[in-house]
Amino acid sequence: MTQPLPAASAAGSAPIRVLYLVESMEIAGAEQVVLSLARGLDRDRFIPEIGCLTVEGPLAPRLREAGVPVVALGKRPGLDVSVVPRLMRMMRQRRIDIVHTHVWNADVWGRVSAALAGVPVRITTAHSVDVWKGRAQLSVDRCLSMVTQRVVCVSEAVRTFYADRAGIAAEKLTVIYNGIDVQPFDGPIDVAAKRRALGVDPAGPVLSVVARLLPEKGHRHFLEALAALRGAQPRISGLIVGQGVMRAELEARSRELGLLDSVRFLGERTDVPEILRATDILVLPSTLREGLSISLLEAMAARRPVVASDVGGNRETIGDSGAGLVVPPADSRSLAVALEALLADPERAHRMGEAGRAKVERDFDIRRMVRQTETIYTDLLADRRRMRAH
């Protein structure tokens, strides 16, 4: 699978080998963060690689275009312990200095394998306020934190959750906000033409949700709010970007609400920046959890106001910038009221969009995220090497 490489020499004299471990490089928030990190690392100091537990996923070609190797380990569903020796072999052959895991399955299998393989530094990123985790999963997180040098949290809300619920030591928890590149959200665009291409009324208001079609993302409440708005806004349209297990159920619900001519299910898309710029308001109606939503940041970068439910890091992301409105989760009525208020006041919506762009540039720049992560890598590896030297 891989060829042995010479061992890295002392800190500062050879690039640091970083293995990012995910389940697969699907199109989702955590995986987009991995993509940004792997492509953004300083190649004079770091050599990034990607390990996928199962299959490569649709983002893998973009990594290879950037010169980042991707390996799929073919893990079978369930308790496939054979992935551990395969991971250990890969880590040893590639002389990995740092293993950085993302999302539950990769967190567990990756950290166990890295500890057994003697990888000097083990890091994980907690991407969400994972309220789905029960006592067993939180106990695993707590135990694995003992062989983990750092748990990176994408928001203060996530850090608080893992400190309070999982009992992870405060000194191991660090907040690094997700970051995005604002450049794709600039430049000329024919909004009317884009709306026509998407199959919506170019003259009516357009609301969008960009999220995987999962129960916790709250699309049902978006559809109900959209139906409530149609009386005052008969030309309103809704765009749902993303794919997932809820698609058939959501399409059925849109039929029940009489929204077949108003809602477009677009599936996975590569033109999200253009879609957001053809949108009036981004809606994030999550009912259960969020960490620090990439789609929220993208809408702010596109200068579009946002209406988000008050879960996880959503309120923290918007902050006091005036970039959008926060509403109670699982409350279609409150969501409709907030949307109606912004649609009735275009000047206010415009100010929110500009405020959101300023906040992204200030607090959520991709270069800041990468540089802060690089600092953690170099500091932790230097600490481990000093410990070994003594």
302 pLDDT higher than 80? yes
Which range is least confidently modeled, 56-70, 149-163, 196-210, 283-297?
283-297
What would the pLDDT profile of 365-378 be if each residue is shown by its tens digit?
999 999 999 999 99
pLDDT band of residue 5 (cuts 50, 70, 90) is very low
CA-wise closest residue to 161 among 193, 119, 195, 129: 129
Q: What pLDDT is attached to residue 148?
A: 98
**Percent of the chain that is helix, strand, coil (3-state, to 5):** 45, 15, 40
Indicate the SS3 state at residue 70: strand
Average pLDDT of every residue of the chain: 94
Task: Please give the single-letter amino acid code of residue 18.
Answer: V
> Phi, psi (5° rounding) for residue 43?
-70, -10
- Which residues, 6 or more positions from 45, have their beta carbon under 8 angstroms from its beta carbon? 15, 16, 374, 378
Q: Are 281 and 350 in contact (CB under 8 A)?
A: no
12 pLDDT higher than 80? no
Q: Where are the beta strands (DSSP E) in 166-262?
A: 173-175, 206-210, 237-241
pTM here is: 0.91
10 pLDDT higher than 80? no
* 63, containing H or E segment: helix 60-65
User: 349-380: string of b/e by CB count within 10 Å (b at 16+)?
Assistant: beebbebbbebbeeebbbeebbeebbebbbeb
Q: Are 94 and 2 in contact (CB under 8 A)?
A: yes
Q: Is the C-alpha dihedral spanning 146, 124, 150, 155 positive or negative? A: negative
User: Which of 3.40.50.740, 3.40.50.2000, 2.102.10.10, 3.40.50.300 would CATH assign to domain 183-363?
Assistant: 3.40.50.2000
What would the pLDDT profile of 202-241 be if each residue is shown by its tens digit?
999 999 999 999 999 999 999 999 999 999 999 999 999 9
Q: What pLDDT is attached to residue 179?
A: 96
Topology (CATH level 3) of domain 16-179+366-384: Rossmann fold (3.40.50)
Q: What pLDDT is attached to residue 13?
A: 67
Domains 16-179+366-384 and 183-363 share a fold: yes
Domain ranges of the chain: 16-179+366-384, 183-363
What would the pLDDT profile of 163-205 be if each residue is shown by its tens digit?
999 999 999 999 999 999 999 999 999 999 999 999 999 999 9
CA dihedral 350, 302, 159, 332 (to 10 degrees): 60
* Distance from C-alpha of 21 to C-alpha of 71, rounded to nearest angstrom: 10
